Structure 1
Amino acid sequence: MLRNINPILSPDLLHALRAMGHGDEIVIADANFPGSSTGPDCIRADGSSASEVLRAILSVMPLDTFVPDPALTMQVVGEPEAIPEAVADFQTIIDEVADNGAQIQGLERFAFYDRAATAFAIVQTGERRLYGNIILKKGVIA
């Protein structure tokens, strides 16, 4: 255990967050997401929800301020304007915790998968709410 570090941030996850550079992306994925087959390293966080992991990551990682979309979620198939419960929760967490506030942007399902395949890492959570997936772009600490 470490002081002032959320215990959800496992050694593997802390290592990935520290190894990431400005502009690298990390995916927080729900339990249905194909985390192990998408490509990047898959860090397991089965006992935590995506919201818990998002809050923990944003407690130590800055969001990118040089892009208009540092936080991306998967759009609902057939209803791209819908805001699932998990996504609404993500926006609340970003508003409360992120050092640089950002409005979540949506990506079409397969575009989200393609983007996730180029991420630095995927954190596979135990999130059971549908569309509980988010991509974060790492910023800099001034």
Structure 2
Amino acid sequence: MLKNIDPRLSPELLMNLAEMGHGDEIVIADGNFPGASVNPNCLRYDTSGVPNLLEAVLSVLPLDPYSDWQYGLMETVGDDPTPPIWSEYKDLVEAAYPGATVKQIERFEFYERARQAFAVVVTGETALYANIILKKGVVTP
């Protein structure tokens, strides 16, 4: 056991977060996301929703202040409404990184970014459009 590490973070996820470098991206996805087919480094968190895991990840992962955006959301398609879960994400990210900027990412561009991401974490989240990309920054003194 380790001290001061959120127990929601598994050893496998902690290893992935630690191995990421500046500018690398990680996707935390809902249960509908095709994680295993878009990225060979797909971790499963079926017993957690995205907000729960996002809060834990943000407790250890610095976001990139030098990027135009620190987190990205998959755009809705057609007349689909704005997902209520996005306001939860905004609140969680803002609490950890005040002033963080969001980027809306078109669906197929989001899949392409997921292919290039360091890892994809698929959760048991049932909300639609509940996928988020985090861009890793650096730890500063």
TM-score (structure 2 length as normaliser):
0.94
Q: Counterpart in 2 of 1:136?
A: 134
Are residue 17 (structure 1) and residue 17 (structure 2) matched?
A: yes
- Where structure 1 has 5 or more consecutive residues not aligned to the other structure, the ranges are none
Q: 2:111 aligns with which of 113, 120, 135?
A: 113
Give 2:77's aligned residue: 77
> 1:92-136: CA deviations, max 9, x gaps?
1001123x5412221111111111110000011111000110000
Q: How does 1:56-95 map to 2 (within 5 A)?
A: 56-79=56-79, 82-95=81-94
Q: 2:38 maps to what in 1?
A: 38
- Matched residue count: 140
CA distance in 1: counterparts of 2:46 and 2:2, whole angstroms: 21
Q: Does 1:104 align with 2:97?
A: no
Q: CA deviation at 1:10?
A: 0.4
Query: Where do 5+ consecutive residues of structure 2 fail to align?
Result: none
1:79–1:136 distance in 2 versus 1, CA, 3 Å: farther
Quickly say closer, same or farther: Cα 1:71–1:40, change in 2 above 3 A. farther
Q: In the alignment, which residue of structure 2 is the partner of 1:49?
A: 49
Provide the identity percentage: 50
Letter matched to residue 117 of structure 1: R
